[in-house]
């Protein structure tokens, strides 16, 4: 099953902070091509992309969630097209970005 049971808690944040996300260690069964990963998350959990970001090394970190917010997943797609599950969870809650005042 694509959704690995033993995912490393907080790996997405620590790896993204280090800027080295393409080199993150992944269990073999947690990686596949992006189309298969997204298709599985869509059909099994009704998740779709909610946010994504491009890393300096060309990797794409993608957060998927379902409309009800009951599940979420984070996948990392490396420049060579391999997508790996980074983290999964429950109870997703989107927040609005904090608006800051511009200094003139």
User: Distance between CA 64 and CA 74 in Å, rounded?
Assistant: 6
DSSP 28: G
42 falls within a domain: yes
Domain that holds residue 54: 11-18+28-90
Among 101, 85, 94, 100, residue whose Cα is nearest residue 41:
85
Residue 31's pLDDT is: 95
Written as tens digits, the pLDDT of the chain (104 aa) is 333 333 333 334 334 434 444 444 445 568 999 999 999 999 999 999 999 999 888 999 999 999 999 999 999 999 999 999 999 999 988 888 888 877 76
Give the other-Cβ count within 10 Å of 30's Cβ: 21
Dihedral angle of Cα 7, 22, 58, 89, to the nearest 10 degrees: 10
Residue 72's pLDDT is: 96
74 falls within a domain: yes
Domains of the chain: total: 1
102 falls within a domain: no
96 falls within a domain: no
Q: pTM for this one?
A: 0.67
């Amino acid at each position: 099953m694509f959704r690995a049971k033993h995912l490393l808690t907080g790996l997405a944040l620590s790896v993204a902070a280090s800027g080295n996300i393409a080199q993150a260690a992944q269990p073999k069964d947690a990686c596949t091509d992006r189309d298969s990963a997204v298709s599985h998350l869509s059909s099994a959990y009704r998740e779709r992309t909610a946010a994504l970001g491009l890393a300096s090394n060309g990797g794409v970190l993608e957060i998927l969630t379902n409309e009800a917010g009951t599940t979420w997943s984070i996948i990392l797609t490396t420049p060579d097209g391999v997508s790996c599950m980074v983290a999964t969870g429950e109870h997703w809650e989107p927040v609005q970005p904090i608006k800051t005042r511009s200094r003139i």
